[in-house]
Amino acid sequence: MFSQQSFISPEPPRRPEESELKVFCFKNILCILGFSSVIAVIALLALGLTQNKSLPENVKFGIVLDAGSSHTSLYIYRWPAEKENDTGVVTQIEECKVKGPGISEFAQKLSEIDIYLTACMERARNVIPMSQHTETPVYLGATAGMRLLRMQNERSADKILAAVTKSISSYPFDFQGARIITGQEEGAYGWITINYLLGKFTQKSSWFNLKPSEGNAQETYGALDLGGASTQITFVPQNETTESPKDTLHFRLYGKNYSVYTHSFLCYGKDQALLQKVTKDLQATSGTIYDPCFHSGYQRVINMSDLYESPCTGRFEVNFPFLPISEVEIRGTGNYQQCQKSIVQLFNTSYCPYSSCSFNGIFLPPLYGDFGAFSAFYYVMEFLNLTSEEHSSQKKMMDTLEKYCSRPWEELQMHFGDVKEKYLSEYCFSGTYILTLLLTGYNFTAESWKNIHFMGKVQGSSVGWTLGYMLNLTNMIPSEEPMSTPLAHSTYVFLVVLFSLILVIAVIVGIFIFHKPSYFWKDMV
């Protein structure tokens, strides 16, 4: 028998020179590949660490003046020019409060508006680089104080706006005009501001922010705004059908439709509400009001002309002609319970032509979701030390107000001597008014109180209508979702490092295979 090996031809012997040449070539090729891979890794890391950051000099600026009923504030915003359509990139870099009252008080002193605005406009000139002055837009929006003045005397309101326009136009910015915004606009812009800053308009993401989650955009916050002459409530109701179309606005932001309920209550800002209460209480007196909303020992004199001139006190003016006085004196008695009973009479909840109402027969759908409360809501609650969500509750607020209102005026002056007298004397009224407005006016309860978040700033930007106003006028929020959303910087760097490591490992494995082929290849026969 012949063995099997006798049928297999022997492998021809290799020449030593040929084997050495192949080994030399393979080694050189692998060395070149390895060196190239290292260079590629370094380049990827450098790209990840530098290319995903905005260039600091490539920025834009915008200025908005909030001309409120009691004061004017100037806000300066900045954003990377190449990212102006990406949410969360606009930041507030400056806030300047103009010294003095609201612009509605300048009807008889138009020549003083120049001096009134000078300090804050010069501040803007210094903050914004000179090279960008001419391309920086400036907007002025006047709110409820000017809305009231326009109701009284439209010509005076127009003169004030003309004087403001002339003053701001003298600066080297791109002034876009001064106008009186409506109550609906004020509420809507405040809602946009809160949700823009909280990032509620973009989709939730997963997988290191690479893939949008299957759910819709995040639930938005409602907005509660309180000024001196008006208050606004704005939110997305759970039920999209509405019984009052005039109180509904429709937005399309980042590819999602929003049906937003918003209503502005003119005359129900805290200053005008106080005038309403004083006028109401005056009906039962002959010129001196013993007011439980002011501290015992406190006295104030109010000119009757201030009550006559306000359009908000009209429903209480019946007996004014029969009062032969030019001023009314207020003497505080400091009692929270009686103060609350006096304030609640400002809200007429006796009738409702809809399935649900706030007050004065105004439609209000059932409250839904969380709410951000800002402006005077926040400032008053901050003074009372009630902005902390951990300790905030309806009962805590009532207990705090009861103690605060009962404190004598002299004691308060000793402890809070640095607080302006007008504000210090009115915190009892303002706090009680806020509590009554939220519970009686807007239908919050002890249970839903936890959904109210008192906000002063978010991401370093003041919460209010001004940012939303600028975003709208500059088209900073696209109606459709951007074609591609840039990755977060941390995610981008992570991926670059990950793939670089994979590349390095592949090279190392390749070298190992070359030097230790017996681990991976069987002998060829």
By annotation, the residues acting in catalysis are: 186
Q: How many helices (H) and strands (E) does the chain have?
A: 14, 18
How far does Cα 238 stand from its chain's mean position?
22
SS3 61: strand
Q: Which residue has the tokens 């002193």?
A: 109
Nearest to 452 by CA among 385, 392, 372: 372
Q: Go through the chain and tell me how many residues it has.
A: 525
- The Cα–Cα gap between 73 and 140 comes to 10
- DSSP summary character for residue 326: S
User: Hey, what's the torsion of the CAs at 501, 504, 506, 512, to 10 degrees?
Assistant: -130
Would you call 51 exposed, middle or buried from its count of C-beta atoms within 10 A (0-12, 13-18, 19+)? exposed
Half-sphere exposure of 85 (CA within 13 A, CB side): 13
Nearest to 35 by CA among 511, 516, 515, 512: 511
- Give residue 182's identity as a one-letter amino acid code: T
DSSP string, 45-92: HHHHHHTTS--TTSEEEEEEEEE-SS-EEEEEEEEEGGGTTSTT--EE
Q: Count other Cβ atoms within 10 Å, centred on residue 487.
A: 16
| Pairing between β-strand 203-206 and β-strand 211-217 as defined by DSSP bridges | antiparallel
